Chain A
Amino acid sequence: MPPSDSDRLLIEQIRAGDSRAWETLIARYEGRLLAFVQRRLRNRTIAEDVVQDTFVGFLNSLPNFDERRELQTYLFTIASHKLTDQLRRSGRNRCKDLPEGSDAILEVQQDPAPTASSRFRSEERQQLERAALTRCLGQLIRQWQERGDYQRLKVLELLWVKGMPNREVALLLKVSEQQVANYRFASVKKLSELIRDAGLSADVFPELQETPPE
């Protein structure tokens, strides 16, 4: 569905730095996004973080936003991805579902035993990720083989299969740490392209750029 004239105008105004338009957009979508996220998370504080990251991701991607996309669908698609990421992370150390109320939220407890549904969501997500990674890596490996770029293959195998840090890989293969870092960076960039293949700009995931070095 194409975007409404109202949404198109709003996006133009936000791009021009109109803070009132931004307030309007927030007022229009904040409640629905919060309700959507909170239904899954049942934790107001974390839900607000997800909605915050959704709007920040939207702002970040605004320069490259395709105006033929419907705004509501776009925002909810971003929110779904942020939510999945949150569930995946909390799946490792799930927060107990608590009733609404600020005191309850402040007393949120960590539950080391995930529920079946959380585990299922986590596994479902992992399967999707595994399939995407397999596809991407297969494509990359074929390209490197065709080019005879076996050094890069060795580097990434040691990094990702053996889990070695950059420094050790560099020492073992007698290449510079910078070279190892370059190979890693180029490959991670390829993963960002996968996100684009899914119909979203990598700009909506600025947090992925904040991954600490290993």
Chain B
Amino acid sequence: MNPIAATDSNCRIETFQASDGYELRYRLYPAQGPSRGTVVYVHGIQSHGGWYVASCRHLAGVGWQVAFLDRRGSGLNERERGDCPSFRRLIADLDEFIRARCPQPPPLIAVSWGGKLAVALEQMHPGRTAGLALLTPGLCPRIRPPLRQRLRIALSRLIRPTRRFAIPLDDPELFTAVPYWQQFIRDDPLALRQATARFLVESVRLDWFLRRCRAKLTIPVLLALAGQDRIIDNRRTRDFLERLAPESLLVKEYPQAQHTLEFEPDTEDFFRDLSNWLEVSRKN
């Protein structure tokens, strides 16, 4: 199997046009058997829908239609690679996509950096989703560019916003301990290795936005943490979400897992927990 999706026969690639004209591509996995509804899925800063084929297939197999949206400038979306006008535009993309493609508020699964967008979406548009499944979300990362580099990026944002900087996640071992998947990441032509100064500063502005969030989330929230995660600060992430969703947070931790749960040697527990949580969010 080639996990880079365009060749995956279980899904079809479709296009959604955002309100500013940008064409976003997404993978649609039709539900097998009676449908439980649609689930929307978003990826991290470097990854894309092609990394999450196994979980998408699993969810489709238990009756969910899965719409995996690649972020503008990432994955299948070649135009303005690694760039975005503002973090608000990224949230608007997600919001417009959900409103256009989902008859009911869907559960939203968000991986790593995508977790920031998911939480921000619910803060901006409460009730847009039926629940958030945050898989090792990048709300409190351990890895960031060094301070000097961040300050260079800040100046570049003013004088040359499209200048590209490396995303500081160039070691596949940060994502997984499985050699096959490490090689997959190394060879992945769709992975985002660089982003513009504008994108990186927008990511900081998104952090500011999240820092100032006070409205409690009342929708179900699943927080999946990897015990051996080198990218995410689990304790701070957990504290952050316990404050934001004190009544509706469910935490699942996989003690031996690395950052990308999808790339673990055994994903059975993770997939089962995700399906179970989706079922609960559907009933809610």
Q: Is A212 in contact with chain B by the CB < 8 A criterion? A: yes
Please, what's the 1-or-0 string for B204-243, where 1 marks a CB less than 8 Å from any CB in chain A?
1100110111110000000000000000010110010001
Interface residue stretch chosen among B14-22, B48-56, B152-160: B152-160
Q: Is B283 in contact with chain A by the CB < 8 A criterion? A: no
Complex Cα spacing A108 to B239, Å: 11
Given A93-B243, A212-B123, A214-B215: A19 in contact with B209 (beta carbons within 8 A)? no
Query: Is the pair A19, B152 in contact by a Cβ cutoff of 8 Å?
Result: yes
Chain A residues, CB < 8 A from B159: 17, 19
Q: Is A126 in contact with chain B by the CB < 8 A criterion? A: no
Query: Is the pair A206, B205 in contact by a Cβ cutoff of 8 Å?
Result: yes
Interface residue stretch chosen among B26-34, B143-151, B176-184, B246-254: B143-151
Q: Is B124 in contact with chain A by the CB < 8 A criterion? A: yes
What's the least CB distance linking A166 to chain B, in Å? 12
Given A51-B147, A52-B151, A59-B154: A212 in contact with B215 (beta carbons within 8 A)? yes
Query: Is the pair A106, B233 in contact by a Cβ cutoff of 8 Å?
Result: yes
The size bracket of the interface on B is 20 to 34
Q: Is B142 in contact with chain A by the CB < 8 A criterion? A: yes
Identity of the chain A residue whose Cβ is nearest the Cβ of B125 in the assembled complex: A213
Query: Is the pair B212, A22 in contact by a Cβ cutoff of 8 Å?
Result: no
Identity of the chain B residue whose Cβ is nearest the Cβ of A58 in the assembled complex: B154
Count of chain A residues with a beta carbon within 8 Å of a chain B beta carbon: 28
Complex Cα spacing A14 to B205, Å: 22
Query: Is the pair B212, A210 in contact by a Cβ cutoff of 8 Å?
Result: yes
In this complex, the member of B123, B155, B156, B208 whose beta carbon has the largest number of chain A beta carbons within 10 angstroms is B155
Complex Cα spacing A132 to B14, Å: 54
Query: Is the pair B124, A213 in contact by a Cβ cutoff of 8 Å?
Result: yes
Complex Cα spacing A56 to B150, Å: 10
The secondary-structure label for the interface of chain B is helix
Kindly identify, within residues 74 to 111 of chain A, every residue whose CB is under 8 Å from any CB belonging to chain B.
89, 93, 106-110
Enumerate chain A interface residues (CB-CB to B < 8 A): 14, 17, 19, 22-23, 26, 30, 34, 48, 51-52, 55-56, 59, 89, 93, 106-110, 206-207, 210-214
A-B contacts, 21 listed (Cβ < 8 Å): A17-B158, A19-B152, A19-B156, A22-B155, A30-B151, A52-B204, A56-B201, A89-B211, A106-B142, A107-B235, A108-B233, A108-B235, A109-B235, A110-B236, A206-B205, A206-B208, A210-B212, A211-B212, A212-B209, A213-B124, A214-B214
Query: Is the pair B239, A207 in contact by a Cβ cutoff of 8 Å?
Result: no
Query: Is the pair B215, A93 in contact by a Cβ cutoff of 8 Å?
Result: no
Query: Is the pair A52, B150 in contact by a Cβ cutoff of 8 Å?
Result: yes
Query: Is the pair A52, B147 in contact by a Cβ cutoff of 8 Å?
Result: yes
Query: Is the pair B239, A110 in contact by a Cβ cutoff of 8 Å?
Result: yes
Chain A residues, CB < 8 A from B152: 19, 22-23
Identity of the chain A residue whose Cβ is nearest the Cβ of B242 in the assembled complex: A110
